[in-house]
Structure 1
């Protein structure tokens, strides 16, 4: 079990502790003595500051723990928070879908329509977003099937790019253009005419 370090929801920590300690069928006194072993040094300072004999039961200790660390409660997220999940400019579709799915897992009772709307809203312009806007999907499985096709197309296109290969940083077209740029920059000024053979 992870130690409580004041950065996570105290309810989750207490719930984890209770489920483990109840399996051992421990007495109330044992629970009170075992609980501090799940705290880090920082949160242990709080426990050590409790006045002697101020804890009457494990339920009492639990209430005091929750009262002290309740500010660390996880903030409840709702469907509108999905509007903040956007596909970055060079972010592959696969990475965006994974990021979006993680955001969806943080929202309880999320309606399917809100999930689809949030996903479509966060897409940057491209073939997949154009496809979705032409024929809006009715189900999540429909979105997933279509997304998978575009993910595969995107990944195949990336594999075909010459710059994708390790050690190959410039495409051949870029290398062809480079000498032309140098020759054009050799011009001295408006009165100086130089013939450049391309």
Structure 2
């Protein structure tokens, strides 16, 4: 056992020695690369050296461990909060975030740490890029982080305010309705994009009383026209049902099934001209092998030869052996 422990200690020492040697080689290589890059930068007309991303930036945090000393409690669950992308009011996002964190069964001494550590998870797109580029250990409290966040995204609040300007577009007293429609579309294009519901509400709100009355009457006329069309369709459907019932009373429908034997009617196209008036009016029997549609059947002869065309029920009658 003693020899085994001694052997293990010796191998561990050797591994550490190899790691130290490897670390020295890496440092030496980095220094040589920096020296080479600095010399190249001094050459007149030489293109700048493209530097790769700093790997330390991916693991660094904008706040030191002393600013968030508490661990995230296991009972904590990240609330379902809409991620901020840099296009809305930053103050509103901070307020919503702090309210849901405080109401998440977190102890009072844990709130500051949770606020700092989880704030990045509520960001996306441009706001997340801003957070990722914060200098390491540049934030010492959540208050400081929130203040920097609001100042950095103050322009989004101005955009939000400009969106509300669409409700300020109003029709002038001497402006015709079609002229106001054209002007509304032009001024809307100069504002930040807004939902269609906003545009519809803003347009309705901007109409003057004269146009509002005209629009209301137009809407009433359209509803009345729709009711007239609906009544006309009802009358057409009722008339169609009457005609269908009348036709059904005068028509003797025949229905056949697969396997039934039938005769088919001889017409001028299928009649043998040599037979004259004494020729047969019906030919068969034939067997129904398929129902191809409403009142349409496929036939075959008694020797199994399939007829080329489908036959309508009007040209068929049942064959009785």
Taking structure 1 as the reference length, the TM-score comes to 0.48
Q: Which has the higher helix share?
A: 1
Q: Which has the higher contact order (CA 8 A, sep 6+)?
A: 1
Structure with the greater alpha carbon radius of gyration: 2
TM-score between both structures, scaled by the size of structure 2: 0.32
